[in-house]
Amino acid sequence: MKRAARAAGGSVRRAALVLAVLVPASLAVGIWAGPVSLTPAELWAGLAHAQGAAGPIVRELRLPRVLLAFLVGGSLSVVGAALQALLRNPLADPYLLGLSGGAGLGAVIAIALNPGWPWAVPAAAFAGAVGAVALVYRLSVVAGRRLDPRVLLLAGVVVGSFAGAIMTAVVSVSEAAELRRAFLWLLGGFGGASWRAVAVFAAYAVVPLAALLLSGRALDLLAIGEETAQHLGADVERQKRLVYAATSLLTAASVAVCGIVGFVGLVVPHAIRRAWTPLHRRLLPVAFFAGGAFLVLADALARTVARPLELPVGAVTALVGVPLFALLLRRNLT
C-alpha cells in the first residue's frame, strides 16, 4: 500500500515533468512551423516586440492558430476520456454520439447556401451539433426518465448516420468548388483561426471543462458500472446528465472552430491510461495538456509537410497517432 502510494506520487511527478517539457516545446514548434521560414531571432523579435516582417505572421496568424489548436486538442481529449467512462466503452470518441453528423450537416448546408457571412459555417456547424445532441438525448430518455448509456450509444449512431445521409445528398447535388470546400472542412483544420475565435472558444469552454475536471472521481465510479457507483455514493443520474451536457457542448464548439478532428479524443486518453493512470482525477488534466500539445504538433506537421499546401489536420492526427498508439499497445502487452 505504501509502495502503491509512492508509485502513484512518482507517476504524478513524472507526468508533470513530461508535460512541463512537452507543452512549451509543442507551442514553440507550432509557432515556428509554417509556409514562411523564420529564424529563431526573427520569431523572437516578432513575438516579443512585433518587429520586422515576422511580427504580423507570428502575432496574427501563428499564435492564435497554435493556441486554438491547443485548446481544441485539450478539450477533445478530455471529452473523449469522459465519454469512454460514461459509456463504459473504450471505443468512444467525442463524435460518437451523432455530433459529427449533425455538425457536418449544418456546415455543408451553410457552405451550399453560401450566405457570405464569415461566421455562417461555424455557427451552422454548432447549431447542427447541438440539434443532433438534443435529438439523441431525447431518444435516450424516452423509456422512463433514466439516461441509459447503451441506448445513448445506439441513438447517437442512428442520428449520426441519418445526418450523414442527408449530408451526402446535399453534397452530391452541390457544385464542384463547394464540394471540395465541404470535404476539406469535414476533415478539419485551423486555417481560419483568429484571436476572436480563440477568445470565444476559451470563454465558452471554461465552464464545461471545469465541470468535467471536477467530475473525475465520479467518472471513476461511472466507469465501473452504474449500480455499483450508486452503492458507492454517486448521484449517478445527475452525473450522467452533467457529463453528457458538458462533453456535447465542448465538442460542438470545437467542431464549429475547426471542423472534425478525429483521433485526438480516442487515442490520447488511452495513451495516458496505459502510460500513467486510469483514475480520472489525474487522467483528465494530463489528457488536457497532452491532447493540446498533440494537436498543436499535428497542426504544425499539417502546415509543413506539403508546403505551401496544407493537409487536413484530421488526416495528420490519424497518420501520427495510429503508429504511436500501436507502439504503446505493443509495449504494454509484452
What gap in Å lies between CA 230 and CA 87, rounded to an integer? 16
What gap in Å lies between CA 91 and CA 236, rounded to an integer? 22
Quote the least distance from Cβ 58 to another protein, whole Å.
36
The owner of cell 486555417 is 191
Binding map of another protein across residues 267-286, x = CB under 8 A, - = no contact: ------x----xx-x-----
52 lines the binding site for another protein (CB under 8 A): no
Give the orientation angle of helix 280-304 with respect to helix 264-275, to 10 degrees: 130
Site for another protein (CB under 8 A): which residue of 11, 44, 60, 88?
Answer: 88
75 lines the binding site for another protein (CB under 8 A): no
Site for another protein (CB under 8 A): which residue of 4, 173, 309, 333?
Answer: 4
**Closer to another protein at the Cβ: 14 or 307?**
14
**Closer to another protein at the Cβ: 118 or 225?**
225
**Planar angle of CA 119, 124, 127, nearest 5 degrees:** 125
Contact 251, 262 (CB under 8 A): no
Contact 284, 212 (CB under 8 A): yes
287 lines the binding site for another protein (CB under 8 A): no
**Closer to another protein at the Cβ: 60 or 148?**
148
Q: Cell numbers of 129, please?
A: 451539433
Q: Cell numbers of 156, please?
A: 447517437
Quote the least distance from Cβ 278 to another protein, whole Å.
5
Contact 269, 283 (CB under 8 A): yes
Quote the least distance from Cβ 214 to another protein, whole Å.
4
Quote the least distance from Cβ 25 to another protein, whole Å.
28
Burial of 89 (0-12, 13-18, 19+ CB in 10 A): middle
What gap in Å lies between CA 46 and CA 62, rounded to an integer? 11
Quote the least distance from Cβ 220 to another protein, whole Å.
6
Q: What's the half-sphere exposure (Cβ side, CA atoms, 13 Å) at 69?
A: 32
Three-class SS state of 52? coil
Burial of 58 (0-12, 13-18, 19+ CB in 10 A): buried
91 lines the binding site for another protein (CB under 8 A): no
Residues 203-232 that bind another protein (CB under 8 A): 214-218, 220-221, 223-225, 227-228, 230-232
**Closer to another protein at the Cβ: 120 or 279?**
279
**Planar angle of CA 281, 287, 290, nearest 5 degrees:** 145
Binding map of another protein across residues 148-187, x = CB under 8 A, - = no contact: ----------------------------------------
Determine the size of the site formed for another protein (CB under 8 A). 33
Quote the least distance from Cβ 325 to another protein, whole Å.
16
247 lines the binding site for another protein (CB under 8 A): no
77 lines the binding site for another protein (CB under 8 A): no
Quote the least distance from Cβ 307 to another protein, whole Å.
41
24 lines the binding site for another protein (CB under 8 A): no
What gap in Å lies between CA 72 and CA 293, rounded to an integer? 10
Stretch that binds another protein, among 16-24, 85-93, 110-118, 180-188 (CB under 8 A): 85-93
329 lines the binding site for another protein (CB under 8 A): no
Amino acid identity for residue 249 in this structure: L
> At a CB cut-off of 8 Å and minimum separation 6, what does 203 contact?
none
Interface residues toward another protein, by CB under 8 A: 1, 3-5, 7, 84-85, 88-90, 214-218, 220-221, 223-225, 227-228, 230-236, 273, 278-279, 281
